[in-house]
Structure 1
Amino acid sequence: MKKLKISLAVMAGLCILFLLFGLYQVRYNGTYGRFDGSLRYLKYDEANDRFIFFGFLDYQLDGIDGPIVKRLGADSLEMAYVVGEASEKYTVVKSVLPLRDSLQFTVKVDNTDKDKFTVTLRGTPESRPVVYGPQPKLLALSDMEGNFNALYGLLTANGVMTEDYRWNFGNGHVVCNGDFVDRGRNVLACLWLLYELQGQAEQAGGKLHFINGNHEHWNLTAYPKSAHSRLIAFAQAATGIEQPVPAFAELMNDENILVAWLKKQPVMLQIGNKLFVHAGISPEFAKAGWDIEKVNQVFWNSIDGGVENAETELLYDDKLGPLWSRTMVRPYGGKEKLSDAEYASILKTYGVNHLIIGHSIVEEVSTDYNGSLFRIDVQHAEEKFSAQTQGLLFEEGKAFRVNALGERVVLSRVVG
């Protein structure tokens, strides 16, 4: 009997540990356990502030969204929007348009301000340079995850764009350091805004760089584990495919203009003596000896050409790869936080003085390793203008923590 009581106590303890771990996972990434497209073993219901166990998901169109723009052969496009009002049923409407230079369309945002802006389509996307010289003005932001309000607030408050969505940063550079998709309601609006600003920046002599993170990689490989339910509902309605995963895969195919654009963006970028990467660099990854061009070429070959080999295994390793590694911030994957010597060795490998990373949430944009590492993933606010929404600005030889109120705090001095 005593052994039975002990066994029951152990089992109860294990169950409690499982639930605690599950709650942590849900609060961190919205899901726990296997995702097969229709069932999540544990889900957090944001609207009602509750957890749902073993709940089947019912995907619903719950607001305006889009467009999804796809190429139909060589001379036409299909454009799909979610339209409707809160008082009626939302539906997907499609139209076919002739493909022509500088085709323009409107993006309407599902927020209280009912934002809308115009996008001008560009030609077939091509990969861009991944190494640039020092720049006099550079803003970095990360992990917006479909939060249009925060993105709008940070960009306008820091002079990157005007209130009517025009590039206002001159010849400055902006780096979007990964994870702008998943979780949030307005993923498509965020991507279209960055797509549009990238084109405007080029015309003004500036640059907007987009770095793919682990969530972009999930989306580009049709894995909707953290996709907002409304985007999956959009995929089902637009494709006519009932099963969520196949519907999402069809939505994210190569004819999708945004998908084609994302596939040509890098996973690592150097500007002056600063190296930008979404998550971080592990010693194991650095020891592979790849330069920045090689890192990006492995990504482009795999994401666009379907190449799978030992190189792609390392690139996408969920503990060691640059889309996932967290050991520059904390212990992760059985590895301790990097020592000063390990970190310095990585800087030497890539020939830079500073690293800028997102992926691992910190309380505020801050530095580590004697001011050479900048950590920029914070919990951005839901409203447009808030001190909680933060980015990193390099200007006049200094690094500043900036926010969506236009405030700035000096973090350190930098060169190059």
Structure 2
Amino acid sequence: MRMLSRRGFSHTKPQPQDVYSLASNKKHATTQAALFSLLSLFSVAAFSTEPAPSSVTDGPYVFLDQGHENTAYWICQSQLKQTQIAANQLARPADCGNLPQPKRHTDAPKVEADTYTHAGKIVALSDVHGQFDVMINLLKAHKIIDANNRWAFGDGHMVMTGDMFDRGHQVNEVLWFLYTLDKEAQTAGGRLHLLMGNHEQMVFRGDLRYINERYKTSAELLNRRYDALYNKDTEIGRWLRSKNTLVKINNLLFMHGGISPEWIERKLNISDANQLFRQHLDDKKEDLKQNDLLNFLFFTNGPTWYRGYFKDALAEPDIDQILNYFKVDHIIVGHTSQDRVLGLYHNKIIAIDSSIKDGKSGELLLIDDDKLTRGLYKGEQVPL
């Protein structure tokens, strides 16, 4: 299907893959009407109920299936456009706002280690949920990135404990920024640890209940379900699927939700669990539920969903047993929202979901030589 952009050049639209592919010929009017009805019903279940934006600018999207791998797709003022990728540089169309123009890096799908010793300074935050501006302001305030949004943390380690997807309106900006930062950190001798949260898993499985209304328009114009914009045959999707769900750095263990006592009963280790998560991220919920181990890992008591630390479910000796199992002094989690970075059980558990998802402010956790510090939104630092 050929389309003419607002700038006058023609381009090929991606092949239809779902109910967003609507017939345009009048002789298919009946089919079109039926599909519109189906789309309306689907939208109620799959998308947020916010009013549709009058004009959407979004992208880029890079699909790796044959015929699209050298093309970047953009939504510019609710018009689908494309540009060719030359020397791995994604160049946006002139009328496409301030969308990211990242450079693809060939080692993006590389699986990194999940255990690090002798790391220096560390920063951690969580649950950005598409609030790009809040995240950027917070990272700049603490000099994790510079004025141009480039890595400025030297050989430090930055941990994002999941939930980049859903709710907010700048998910794609968040993802491309972290994609670029991942490479910049490694070049500087540091590391970005991007851990998978429950909302990443939900989107990969096609659970679209929490996506922002903006992405309904993007999915329609690209003729793909929203989850297909990030499947394993896309640049961002392939990169995300290489990431860990848990990482151990020095005497610290990071994950999205938490470690329940059931983990210890099952005698699991970090690397095996990370591999299982990578292998099964795209499995259907019903299939995961039928496997005892996967049902544990992916749901209520697993490391991306567990909330027991916040429900008085555990006594301090239970926490000590978990810490001893992993040979760590602290467990750092997101997932359960607070209004600040919060220490529990004498700072043995540290909650870092500071409600960035609300789009107003947030905090991060700074760690240097076992000193634990709250990094406030405007740059102030307070001991935890």
TM-score for both structures, normalised by structure 2? 0.81
Corresponding residue of 2:31 = none
CA RMSD of aligned residues (A): 2.8
**Superposition pairs for residues 328-367 of structure 1, below 5 Å?**
328-330=309-311, 336-367=312-343
> Is residue 2:173 matched to residue 1:185?
no
Contact 1:72 1:78 in 2 (8 A): no
Distance 1:38 1:115, change over 3 A: closer
Distance 1:250 1:364, change over 3 A: closer
Contact 1:210 1:266 in 2 (8 A): yes
Amino acid at match of 2:104: L
Unaligned runs of 5+ in 2: 1-39
Contact 1:117 1:164 in 2 (8 A): no
Corresponding residue of 1:122 = 105
**Structure 1 residue 382 displacement after superposition:** 6.5
**Superposition pairs for residues 8-407 of structure 1, below 5 Å?**
37-40=42-45, 45=50, 62-73=55-66, 76-84=69-77, 90-97=78-85, 100=87, 102-105=88-91, 117-123=100-106, 125-239=109-223, 247-303=225-281, 308=288, 309-317=291-299, 319-330=300-311, 336-380=312-356, 388-407=361-380
Q: Quick check: which one's strand share is greater?
A: 1
Contact 1:61 1:91 in 2 (8 A): no
Distance 1:160 1:41 in 2: 35
Where 2:70 maps in the other structure, the secondary structure is strand
Unaligned runs of 5+ in 1: 1-34, 48-58, 85-89, 242-246, 331-335, 412-416
Distance 2:227 2:41 in 1: 13
Q: Deviations over 1:234-287 (max 9, x none)?
A: 112102x5xxxxx22432322211111111111100000100010111111332
Q: Determine which structure has greater relative contact order: mean sequence separation of CA pairs < 8 Å that are 6+ residues apart, divided by chain length.
A: 2
Where 1:39 maps in the other structure, the secondary structure is helix
Where 1:82 maps in the other structure, the secondary structure is strand
Corresponding residue of 2:27 = none
Q: Deviations over 1:164-216 (max 9, x none)?
A: 12211110110011111110000000010011011011111111110010001
Distance 1:234 1:354, change over 3 A: same
Contact 2:48 2:210 in 1 (8 A): no
Where 1:260 maps in the other structure, the secondary structure is helix
Distance 2:167 2:60 in 1: 18
Q: Deviations over 1:296-351 (max 9, x none)?
A: 0110121268885322111112x211111101122xxxxx5211121111111212
Contact 2:48 2:213 in 1 (8 A): no
**Structure 1 residue 74 displacement after superposition:** 8.4
Identical aligned residues as a percent: 27
Contact 2:258 2:304 in 1 (8 A): yes
Where 2:276 maps in the other structure, the secondary structure is helix
Distance 2:93 2:241 in 1: 22
Distance 1:362 1:36, change over 3 A: farther
Contact 1:69 1:80 in 2 (8 A): yes
Per mean C-alpha deviation after superposition, the further-off stretch among 306-315 and 321-330 is 306-315
